[in-house]
Chains A and B, each alone.
Chain A
């Protein structure tokens, strides 16, 4: 693995420049991360991207951990830390400074407008993330069926996602994916 300073810098500015576009959280950014790390930079294959996402879901912690794994894949442990700080830093700074302004407009019409305007954008982005991951992960009819089952389980029940992933991993071992 190449852990040169240039590479770390590249990861840092790539991820930092996306930080403020994460409307609806990190899961909204997956198509853009995929576009950058697979299509533009060629740091990994589409299937490796989907595998890293699944690994991040299996680990405890915020779903931002997928960013750490993308950085790790490109530049090892330093890459993981640079990617995490770059992806979370700018948005955290904005949160810090926006908090007081937002508290002032707690009951204001503007905040209701902002929430109503951004909610559908976030839904569209999250759906695009799911579609991007499905395209990367589903290399067989069995895998596609697992994607459909996973979606149904989350949409219709309150089951903990970790059990869905564990069941799907077993199904994979059984030869379904």
Chain B
């Protein structure tokens, strides 16, 4: 049933508190891609589950809220079980556009392990400064470090599925540092992004959080250097 199309891509959509806005996003996605997996990060009623079932979308819910990255890791594990050769992580808040997934997959087919869909126009001054500072410090040659719109090959997501190896909170710089350590090739393509329909940025919800995030990332950058 699941192995009829071996070259299929699994779209992983981690969701936290985004019902019902996510419905539209998922419908748009489903019209373009056959395999979609929604991972609800923490229990929140049956509405999304029913919606997924009606629309033939795979649905997993996590027992506790453990962060977006942990939800994505569940998706990686699922993809490993089902034998998907590549996955795309896709935010359910309306920022990522289903039409742009193709761009990531094209770039991935050029021989990269991870492709980041970046949009440098978004975010305020603080966020842009923060991004530049992190890039300079880490020496990672990617401009949009916090974009959650990424494509992974099997070689990459199999490694990132291991919790003890990749125990992160967000899909951001930490992932890229690990990729460098493991010798995975990263690339970046420019993608258009839509307006956020619901919720807040997973990485940057407020100033206090930004500072904490910046410090945490600095420490992990320092410790994961080469």
Q: Answer yes or no: are A and B bound together in one complex.
A: no
Binding site for B on A (CB under 8 A): none
Binding site for A on B (CB under 8 A): none
